[in-house]
């Protein structure tokens, strides 16, 4: 998707966009260029529609221009070529341009060249070698200026005549290069504010990196501190103690890495335990699936319990399985499944695990700092600095009781994953960058007292509730039910048939960066609004105003 001033160039995706394309086709190729007979419906569907893709240009969500193309034979241009064999000659990967239409009052160089250039760039990136086009005879000179070459004489079709032409990808004529440079200058002139916003001014509603306060950013920018010196070690110890208070006890290890490293360390530790049962893994989203993959990589073969995306753990089912595990076995799951926005019942799982003598491990990477946590009865837990705590990614956090790991066969644990060693060391076992520590230290000031913790949790909860209310108000349903919805991340499907990538790009043009480009979301056509870090409600108004207005226009156009 590309915005140039008041125009947006993109691939057509939704039923509303295709309906507008068919109506533009009718106005152009029936009412203006008498190539086809009137359909009686005001819409003309191209005979190759089933295999076409369309580049469109939108103005205020109205399709004002389009160009279509396809790469599957038969090609309509073959009927107009003196030597149709060139379409299948060695080294040729053809793309046929079928239709080009622009509303009469929108015909200007910006739209025309933007459509052609967007199509050209798409063709180049996809590895096509030639663009073939049947140019309207009266406009052949214009196509020649762009670099198209005639392949034969004009051929009549209805009351119009068309000239077969070809453009070789990668061989831009000098004149066309000058036009391209003028186009790029035009883009820079008409959309500097948009470009700046896209680059640096978007409101960050991503689940990572999150929005950081000025205090956190300033702390990260301080001169580095030697990680073996007394100042660093003193601050390192204080941060560990602060984190321990937030989760109601436990020793805390801080490693240089992401939350994935913390979970790898848990997997390595479980693999080094005495063989007591197979263990149980709870999966109700992408990050539960990742835990299972990590467990397998360390030689574990646990039972897995799985639920649909958007559903919470079924603790009755969990208890039935744990009751069959021998005492001393383990269960591992994700507290807040950030792929779906589900907050699982950790307190309930604690009770069940304790009842059956099962070691409980939990991924708290996105829930740490978002909701009150009591990990006093948890065997191992993971956290991270770059999520709800509101700092930069880079600190992998582990919560455990050192004494419970003393009998572990640590010869089976890779040194970097050795939680016991990290807990036993006053400072970091290995190099640790001071900016990561000082930024985390600043972020934890939001949790400096019981009152500040409660205020932060209340702010997060209110944000989550209001985001879900607004989504429902405009007709979009969160994936997670309200009874078990996360306060800091809301997953939902874009409206109509719009893809995740297109909806994310649309929100970016409105000035908001949201989640949806991760493969695990895009393949399910899901997007996310995260409210982690220094996010406050006053920044949300324009987003929902834009969304409501766009949805209203989409609904209106669908009824046209």
Q: How many domains does the chain have?
A: 3
Q: Which residues pair with 514 in a beta bridge?
A: 205
Specify whether 372 is located in the same domain as 471: no
Instruction: Tell me which residue range forms the domain holding 539.
Output: 202-210+451-558
Cα–Cα distance, 371 to 366 (Å, whole number) = 10
Q: Which of 416, 450, 484 is the last residue of a domain?
A: 450
Judgement on whether residues 164 and 277 belong to the same structural domain of the protein: no
The CA distance from 389 to 386, in Å, is 7
Measured between alpha carbons, how far is residue 61 from residues 16, 20, 37, 150 in Å? 10, 10, 28, 36
Phi, psi of 518 (to 5 degrees): -65, 145
Residue 386: give its domain's CATH number: 3.40.640.10
Which strand (E) or helix (H) includes residue 485?
Answer: none
Beta strands 130-136 and 149-150, pairing class: unpaired
What CA–CA distance (Å, rounded) separates 535 from 469?
17
Domain boundary residue, one of 450, 478, 496: 450
Q: Is 425 exposed, middle or buried (0-12, 13-18, 19+ CB in 10 A)?
A: middle
Q: How far apart are CA 385 and CA 236, in angstroms?
A: 14
Asked whether residue 66 falls in the same domain as residue 109, the answer is yes
- The full 3-state SS of 291-318, as one line of letters, equals HHHHHHHCCCCCEEEECCCCCCCCHHHH
pLDDT in tens, the chain (560 residues): 677 777 888 888 888 889 999 999 999 999 988 888 898 999 999 989 999 999 999 887 789 999 999 999 889 899 899 888 989 888 889 999 988 899 988 877 677 878 888 888 888 888 899 999 998 888 888 888 778 899 999 998 877 788 999 988 877 666 566 666 666 666 666 554 444 443 346 899 999 899 999 999 999 999 999 999 999 999 999 999 999 999 998 899 999 999 999 999 999 999 998 877 899 999 999 999 999 999 999 999 999 999 999 999 999 999 999 999 999 999 999 999 999 999 999 999 999 999 999 999 999 999 999 999 999 999 999 999 999 999 999 999 999 999 999 888 899 899 999 999 999 999 999 999 999 999 999 999 999 999 999 999 999 999 999 999 999 999 999 999 999 999 999 999 998 788 999 899 889 888 899 999 999 999 999 999 999 999 999 889 889 988 988 887 666 444 43
Residues facing 163 on adjacent strands: 135
- Interatomic CA distance for residues 379 and 356, integer angstroms: 14
Are 413 and 325 members of one domain? Answer: yes
pLDDT at position 16 is 82
Statement to judge: residues 220 and 132 lie in one domain: no
Gap between the terminal Cα atoms of the chain: 25
Q: How far is CA 220 from CA 88, 232, 253, 429, 443, in A?
A: 58, 14, 20, 21, 10
Does residue 485 share a domain with residue 439? no
Which residues make beta-bridge pairs with 406? Answer: none
Tell me what pLDDT residue 186 has. 61
- Select from 200, 228, 255 the last residue of a domain: 200
Q: What confidence score (pLDDT) does residue 380 get?
A: 97
Locate 241 and state its tokens: 């103690």
Indicate which CATH number applies to the domain containing 553.
Answer: 3.90.1150.10
For residues 230 and 171, membership in a common domain is answered with: no
Residues 352 and 500 in one domain: no
pLDDT in the model for residue 200: 46
Q: Where are the beta strands (DSSP E) in 40-159?
A: 53-59, 62-70, 94-102, 130-136, 149-150, 155-157
Report residue 125 as tokens: 């990136």
| CA atoms 263, 264, 269, 273: torsion sign | positive
For residue 50, the domain's CATH number is 3.40.630.30
Say whether both 153 and 88 belong to one domain.
Answer: yes
pLDDT at 62: 87
Six-digit token string for 101 = 């239409």
User: Do both 404 and 547 map to the same domain?
Assistant: no
User: What pLDDT is stored for residue 178 in this prediction?
Assistant: 64
> For 254, what's the count of Cα atoms within 13 Å in the CB-facing half-sphere?
28
The answer to whether the peptide bond before residue 209 is cis (omega within 30 degrees of 0) is yes
Q: What is the pLDDT of residue 174?
A: 62
Q: Are residues 481 and 365 in the same domain?
A: no
240 shares a domain with 180: no
Q: What is the pLDDT of residue 213?
A: 92
């Amino acid at each position: 998707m590309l915005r140039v001033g008041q125009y947006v160039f993109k691939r057509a995706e939704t039923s509303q966009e295709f309906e507008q394309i068919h109506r533009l086709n009718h106005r152009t190729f029936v009412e203006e260029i008498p190539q086809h007979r009137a359909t009686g419906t005001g819409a003309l569907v191209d005979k190759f529609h089933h295999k076409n893709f369309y580049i469109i240009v939108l103005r205020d969500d109205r399709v004002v221009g389009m160009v279509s193309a396809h790469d599957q034979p038969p090609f309509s241009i073959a009927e107009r070529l003196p030597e149709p064999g060139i379409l299948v000659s060695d080294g040729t990967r053809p793309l046929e341009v079928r239709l080009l239409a622009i509303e009469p009052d929108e015909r200007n160089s910006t739209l025309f060249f933007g459509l052609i250039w967007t199509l050209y760039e798409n063709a180049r990136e996809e590895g096509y070698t030639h663009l073939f086009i049947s140019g309207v005879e009266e406009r052949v000179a214009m196509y020649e200026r762009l670099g198209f070459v005639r392949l034969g004489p004009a051929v009549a079709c209805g009351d119009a005549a068309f000239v077969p032409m070809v453009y070789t990808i990668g061989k831009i004529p000098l004149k066309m290069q000058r036009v391209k440079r003028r186009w790029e200058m035009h883009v820079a002139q008409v959309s500097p504010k948009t470009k700046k916003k896209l680059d640096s001014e978007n409101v960050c509603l991503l689940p990572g990196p999150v929005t950081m306060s000025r205090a956190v950013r300033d702390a990260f920018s301080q001169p580095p501190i030697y990680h073996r010196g007394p100042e660093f070690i003193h601050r390192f110890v204080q941060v560990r103690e602060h984190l321990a208070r937030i989760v109601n006890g436990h020793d805390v290890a801080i490693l240089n890495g992401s939350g994935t490293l913390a979970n790898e360390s848990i997997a390595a530790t479980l693999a080094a335990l005495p063989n007591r049962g197979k263990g149980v893994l709870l999966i109700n989203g992408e990050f539960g699936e990742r835990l299972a993959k990590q467990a397998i990589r360390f030689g574990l073969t646990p039972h897995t319990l799985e639920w649909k995306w958007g559903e919470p753990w079924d603790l009755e089912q969990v208890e039935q399985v744990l009751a069959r595990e021998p005492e001393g076995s383990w269960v591992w799951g994700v507290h807040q499944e950030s792929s779906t926005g589900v907050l699982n019942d950790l307190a309930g799982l604690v009770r069940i695990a304790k009842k059956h003598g099962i070691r409980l491990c939990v991924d708290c990477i996105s829930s740490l700092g978002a909701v009150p946590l009591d990990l006093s009865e948890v065997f191992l837990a993971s956290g991270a600095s770059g999520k709800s705590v509101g700092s930069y990614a880079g600190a992998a956090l582990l919560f455990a009781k050192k004494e419970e790991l003393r009998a572990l066969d640590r010869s089976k644990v890779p040194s970097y994953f050795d939680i016991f060693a990290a807990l036993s060391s006053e400072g970091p076992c290995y190099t640790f960058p001071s900016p990561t520590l000082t930024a985390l230290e600043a972020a934890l000031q939001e949790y400096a007292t019981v009152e500040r913790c409660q205020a932060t949790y209340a702010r997060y909860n209110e944000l989550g509730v209001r985001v879900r209310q607004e989504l429902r108000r405009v007709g979009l349903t969160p994936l997670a039910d309200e009874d078990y919805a996360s306060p800091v991340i809301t997953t939902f499907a874009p409206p109509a048939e719009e893809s995740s990538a297109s909806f994310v790009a649309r929100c970016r043009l409105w000035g908001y960066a949201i989640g949806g480009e991760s493969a695990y979301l895009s393949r399910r056509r899901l997007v996310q609004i995260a409210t982690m870090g220094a996010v406050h409600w006053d920044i949300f108004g324009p987003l929902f105003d834009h969304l409501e207005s766009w949805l209203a226009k989409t609904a209106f156009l669908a009824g046209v």
